[in-house]
């Protein structure tokens, strides 16, 4: 079976209604795996797979479990390769929250990404808290999880500002990846100046 076929089967599985209501659907799972691929600390496979489903899914048999878990691991590796390449990172959904942000796939992707961050929050912020917070901002805004906080509700109230931030997500991901995984290759602005 090709990787594309595996992904299609994974998508059908993750988007099914039978899963636990807190389980991540395909687009949210993609965001989640993207965060795990960026995080400087490696989260054990068993832990992140269990967290993704919230509770054990009802697999038809062991073969299905093995296939779904192997495809998730494959997708995570694929995302990591994409992040490490020089190409702009492609999200599995439109970079647009649409008229109803709560129903948009992008919101789901951003929430999934933040779930991945929460899994190892300390690791994200231990080295460069300010830069990481700044780069995470477009994703945090997109997730809608922080709208209660004054600085976020101000942004959420300004549609143009929201759009400006949302389109920065692919760029922010690349910058975060470099910051967390190749600190010597920080974007030029962050490089210390030698006198």
Kindly report, residue by residue over 5-55, the tens digit of the pLDDT.
Answer: 999 999 999 999 999 999 999 999 999 999 999 999 999 999 999 999 999
Residue 195: the pLDDT is 42
- First-last CA distance in the chain: 56
Q: From the CB of residue 151, how many other CB atoms can be counted at a distance below 10 Å? A: 10
Residue 184: the pLDDT is 65
Domain layout of the chain by residue ranges? 3-181
**What span, in angstroms and rounded, lies between the C-alpha atoms of 116 and 96?**
21
CATH number 1.20.120.740 given to 3-181: yes
Query: Mean pLDDT, to the nearest integer, of 107-128?
Result: 95
Percent above pLDDT 90 for the chain:
81
Residue 188: the pLDDT is 46
């Amino acid at each position: 079976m090709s990787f594309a076929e595996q992904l299609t089967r994974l998508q059908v599985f993750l988007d099914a209604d039978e899963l636990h209501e807190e389980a991540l659907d395909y687009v949210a799972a993609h965001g989640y795996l993207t965060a795990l691929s960026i995080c400087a600390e490696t989260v054990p496979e068993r832990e992140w797979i269990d967290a993704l489903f919230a509770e054990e899914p009802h697999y038809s048999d062991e073969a299905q479990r093995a296939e779904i878990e192997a495809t998730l691991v494959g997708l995570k590796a694929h995302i990591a390769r994409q992040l490490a390449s020089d190409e702009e990172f492609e999200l599995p959904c439109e970079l647009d929250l649409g008229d109803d942000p709560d129903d948009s796939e992008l919101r789901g992707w951003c929430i999934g990404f933040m779930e991945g961050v929460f899994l190892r929050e300390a690791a994200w912020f231990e080295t460069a808290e300010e830069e990481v917070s700044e780069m995470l901002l477009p994703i945090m805004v997109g997730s809608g999880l922080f709208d209660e906080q004054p600085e976020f509700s101000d942004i959420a109230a300004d549609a143009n500002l929201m759009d400006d931030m949302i389109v920065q997500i692919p760029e922010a991901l690349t910058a975060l990846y470099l910051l967390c995984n190749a600190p010597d290759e920080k974007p030029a602005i962050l490089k210390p100046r030698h006198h």
